[in-house]
Amino acid sequence: MAGAVVWLVVSLVAVPVALAVVPDAPTNLAVTAKTSTTVSLSWTAASNATDYTIEYSADAFVTTTMTFFDGVSTGVTATVTGLTLGSTYSFRVKTISSGGTSVASTAVSSGVLVADVHTPNDLPVYLACPTGVVAAHGFSDIFHTPTSTAVSCIKYYGITKGTTATTYSPSDSVTRWQMALFLTRMAVPAGVTMPDGSDQGFTDIGGKSAEIQLAINQLKQLGITVGTNAAGTLFDPDSNVTREEMALFISRLLMDATVGPGGNVELGSGSSPYQYIKSNDTDHNFTDIDGVYLTETRTAIISLWNLGVSDDTTATTYNPSADMTRAAMAMFMDSALDHTNARPVGVNIQAETYRAAGSHAFSMSVTNRTSGFLPIASTRVDVFKYQHTTSTTSLRFNTDGSCAQVVKVISGTVCSIDTLDGITDTSGNLATFSTTVATATSWDYWAWTANLGGVYDDDVYGTVANKITVGTY
């Protein structure tokens, strides 16, 4: 129809559109571990997370915020690295999803990051100078107990004679010629095969005694010293030994030494690797050895520390360039000897400890040495024991010196040297053995030797047999 108006009605239908939802923040953020430069975190996962952002700040997010990048991950743990010793850090975590980034979680604090405290990992099991076996040194100028014990030990092995008959002079520095004597005297009981000491080309030792020259040349032959100049013609005998030089000397000597019972060894390199007395552990507490020039020296310092060869295993400074004192030298040598085959004269028995809580399996070692501390091989050794008791009828020995209520420890007939007894190896040592002591009991252990068929008589062998007492509580 002309002039007609046509109305078109359009119906609009609403189509729902999914709106992106911002994710929730992680919850239960916590510090789970920390070292001097790292902090480990954990948290509870948020829904639909595709990643997390870890933020940290040294001023509680007041003016600074740093992000730790650890890759894309929905894991709920992370370790933040590269932190600074002595600082305190705050941490927070945000959730990332297709909907965006959440608000931050509740922040947590690391507390002050303190230096890691390590303890030596490769200590010896037994000692070169067991308690009660070695006589006191007799010097009048030593008062510190650890130093006194160490000086007694190195005097026992003939390493030191003192500066006079009655003084040791513990605070004095040690010259290089003196150290040469000390090291070569230490080497023999440590099981080092000594070279002939022929002239090694040092041109500055001619004014020293024949004994000193021999020692210096032997050190060169053993590879313990190479001299102080590039040509290897100077030894500089009158200069003082520094603490870093001491570490090198002791470490190199231990590489030549024979390991003793309970000493720590590691495999060397090469197609036919040999075991050496050293530690491969890299833990230590020293803050002042990064500047030590030679890598070998730093390695030696750390290795010795893990072996317990130190004058203070809790120290955080080594003082590498300081002079080595006679007191510190004694402590280094004493603890180094423990790892070697140096053991007291005669038959000696010792335990890894002498008191323990509860029932305990005590590890024991028996050794035999000449008056010059050399190994005695193929020795049959009898070991027997007696339990402490309040009984008046129980006796260690009868009135005639024969064994009474004692018990055999290893094998064979008690108190008799027979073919079933243990026998020392070429290093003069019995195989170590373990013996269990029940809770709250104490036992005496004897080790002795005689000709095959010999029978123990305390009146005869009591002064040469070696006895220890172990107990539990």
pTM of this prediction? Answer: 0.82
Is the pLDDT score of 408 beyond 50? Answer: yes
Give the residue from 402, 392, 389, 390 showing the smallest Cα distance to 443.
389
**Alpha carbon distance 377, 304 (integer Å):** 30
Is residue 260 within 8 A of residue 429, CB to CB? The reply is yes
Ranges of each domain in the chain: 27-112, 145-339, 346-472
Is the pLDDT score of 374 beyond 50? Answer: yes
Which of the four pLDDT bands, split at 50, 70 and 90, describes residue 1? Answer: very low
Over residues 318-342, the pLDDT tens digits come to 999 999 999 999 999 999 999 999 9
Which of the four pLDDT bands, split at 50, 70 and 90, describes residue 270? Answer: low
**Alpha carbon distance 238, 42 (integer Å):** 59
Is residue 471 within 8 A of residue 413, CB to CB? The reply is no
Is the pLDDT score of 3 beyond 60? Answer: no
Is the pLDDT score of 285 beyond 80? Answer: yes
Any bridge partners for residue 366, and if so which? 349
Specify the CATH architecture of the domain 27-112.
Sandwich (2.60)
User: Which pLDDT score is estimated for 470?
Assistant: 98
- Mean pLDDT across 143-147: 90
Query: What does the chain come to in residues?
Result: 473
**Alpha carbon distance 272, 268 (integer Å):** 9
User: Which pLDDT score is estimated for 7?
Assistant: 55
Q: Quickly count helices (H) and strands (E) in the chain.
A: 7, 19
User: Which pLDDT score is estimated for 277?
Assistant: 97
Q: What is the mean pLDDT of the chain?
A: 94
Is the pLDDT score of 107 beyond 50? Answer: yes
| Distance between start and end Cα atoms, the chain | 120
**Alpha carbon distance 262, 362 (integer Å):** 13
Over residues 44-95, the pLDDT tens digits come to 999 999 999 999 999 999 999 999 998 999 999 999 999 998 999 999 999 9
Domains 27-112 and 346-472 share a fold: yes
Higher pLDDT, 309 or 273: 309
Mutual orientation of helices 210-222 and 243-256 as an angle, nearest 10°? 70
Is the pLDDT score of 163 beyond 80? Answer: yes
CATH superfamily of 346-472: Macroglobulin (MG2) domain (2.60.40.1930)
Is the pLDDT score of 108 beyond 60? Answer: yes
Over residues 22-49, the pLDDT tens digits come to 999 999 999 999 988 999 999 999 999 9
Over residues 422-436, the pLDDT tens digits come to 999 999 999 999 999
